[in-house]
Structure 1
Amino acid sequence: MYHIKKNTVQETLIIPLFGRKVCSEHFPDLFEDPEAERICSMLDYDFTEKGKKMESAVGLFGALEVAQRQYDLAWEVKDYLKEHPGAAVVNLGCGLDDTFRKCDNGVCKGYNIDMPDVIEVRNEILPAGEREINLGYDLNDERWMDEIDPSNGAVFFASGVFYYFKTDAVRELFQKMAKRFPSATIVFDTCNKRGAKMMTKTWLKEAGISDVNAFFSIEDKAEIEAWCSDFASVTARSYMRGYRDIYNEVRILHKMMIRFCDSLVKMQIIKVAFR
């Protein structure tokens, strides 16, 4: 059993993991995640409080979002691998996410990147498998790019990561990546400023972010299109309905929340293809 300390980075890492576990229990026809179940069973942590919150209607929608986001990003990774089977699959800000394993075609290479203290926890709970490596870097430290072998293509993805970055930092990161990894793709989740302000009342608050104005959020993908001439295309899809429409599979309250996320919060999956 691996002990998880309260009020530490370890605790923040297990929240999405637990969300996927809860989602697979409540929506087994939509999401099946035995790995999330397995890892949670390995942890010395009292999930009672988080379980109560996540079992509520609003909390369950949060779990649904976490699971759907992983599904969306995995869909894009698998789609890229159809044309580039030996590509580098790079998880930016990986936490305890196991998307690479869900997408592994037997020949691609997986890179999981996060802060050194996060990777230390990951190495204990989710050690790297075959053709997979865990790398401890701050994403703003471009030395991590030297570790990636893009000779057979590269697909990057980030799940719930860029909300913590200032817009200028995201723009600079993408510009550098476009230069270093031509023909690669990056996929990530976003929301608009209204959504970011809502997040400040929850998990952004825990990160010490109270004023979201400088932090990354977008109203329209055209904002990103203007960032760099090395972008071949920028596309966007609905977070909850763009890859697999689950609207008719959920209760009325969750239908209303999906409509809210689409129309007023602009929760989207953005894909940027580099030239």
Structure 2
Amino acid sequence: MKHKIEKNTVQETLVIPLYSRKLCTELYPNLFQDETAVRLIDQIDYDFSEVEKNSHSLMQRFGSLEVAMRQYDLAFEVRDYLKDHPNAAVVNLGCGLDGTGRSCDNGSCKIYNLDLPDVIAVRNELLPAGEREENIPCNLNDTEWFSQIDASGGAVFFASGVFYYFLTEQVKALVQKMADAFPGGVLVFDAANRTAVKMIAKTWLKSAKIRDVGAYFAVSDAPKEIGAWDSRLQVSSRGYMLGYNDLKDPSVSRFFRFLARVGDGVMKMQIVRIKFVGR
């Protein structure tokens, strides 16, 4: 039986990024593959007609390319960390129905998927935890979840499209607490500058009743701005559209490559990597 998801519910917010990952897989098969998304879309009872109609627009397709590159980049960073820490904890912060942890599984790491309780309830139905995997219901800002992560073999944390919804002070506090709890660990996530965050905000401002966009997390020069938060943070960043892949694939038009340059350059769309080091 298919899992029914109603319109205008928190659970609906899981469907749109999932559909984007399915669309990415179809449009850019050489760049991105998410068989989990393709399979899950078939298991969900939801009216996709509006999303499917929008999927033919140029900007929606570029948006799908953005999603593809973001997941590609984060998976690259996770696999890179696992090369030197094969038994590490791989922690997906704000996981939704994303299967990146599993796609990076090396056979010995431990996978943790964290999100709000009602999201994890859906995940447990559609993506029940496998071997060496745990789905943890929590609020990321309530750091009690730290105690559930076995970081004895190291830890790599990643967040996809999550911190745009956090106040800058919340991100700073979380990062500093993680530096305390997980020395030697790494956190990777996507970020953008204030201009880009204002554009992103237009899609959720009304529903979230947010007025002061300026308080929400945005960054232009990550090493300088985030590095200043704490001496234990070793910060680097790379453009997330072209920083890991030159996009010289036949499936990507010249126009989209131009937009990718604008995204990385003007909007400072980037993957931020923070290593937690000792003082």
| Structure 1 length-normalised TM | 0.97
Q: 1:31 to 1:191 in 2, by over 3 A?
A: same
Q: 1:144 deviation in Å?
A: 0.4
Task: Name the counterpart of 2:76.
Answer: 75
* 2:271 aligns with one of 269, 272, 275: 269
RMSD value, Cα: 1.2
Contact 2:115 2:136 in 1 (8 A): yes
Q: After superposition, what is the alpha-carbon deviation per residue over 1:202-252, rounded to whole angstroms, capped at 9, x for unaligned?
A: 145433334310000001111000001111x21100111111221554113
1:13 aligns with 2:21: no
Instruction: Say which SS state the counterpart of residue 38 (structure 2) adopts.
Output: helix
Task: Name the counterpart of 1:230.
Answer: 232
Q: 1:248 to 1:209 in 2, by over 3 A?
A: farther
Q: 1:253 deviation in Å?
A: 2.7
Give the share of equivalent positions with the same residue, in percent: 56
Distance 2:47 2:21 in 1: 17
Poorly superposed stretches of 4+, deviation over 6 Å:
none
Q: 152-161 vs 256-265, which deviates more?
A: 256-265
Contact 2:241 2:261 in 1 (8 A): no
Contact 1:241 1:247 in 2 (8 A): no
**Counterpart AA for 1:192:** N
* 2:258 aligns with one of 238, 256, 259: 256
Task: Name the counterpart of 2:56.
Answer: 55
Distance 2:205 2:68 in 1: 19
Task: Name the counterpart of 2:35.
Answer: 34
Task: Name the counterpart of 2:96.
Answer: 95
**Counterpart AA for 2:8:** N
Distance 1:204 1:162 in 2: 15
Distance 1:177 1:204 in 2: 29
Gaps in structure 2 of 5+ consecutive residues: none
Distance 1:257 1:219 in 2: 18
Distance 2:178 2:215 in 1: 21
**Counterpart AA for 2:32:** F
Distance 2:153 2:273 in 1: 19
**Counterpart AA for 1:211:** D
Distance 1:4 1:227 in 2: 41
| Structure 2 length-normalised TM | 0.95
Task: Name the counterpart of 2:184.
Answer: 183
Gaps in structure 1 of 5+ consecutive residues: none
**Counterpart AA for 1:195:** A
Instruction: Say which SS state the counterpart of residue 168 (structure 1) adopts.
Output: helix
Distance 1:98 1:35 in 2: 7
Q: 197-206 vs 154-163, which deviates more?
A: 197-206
Task: Name the counterpart of 1:240.
Answer: 241
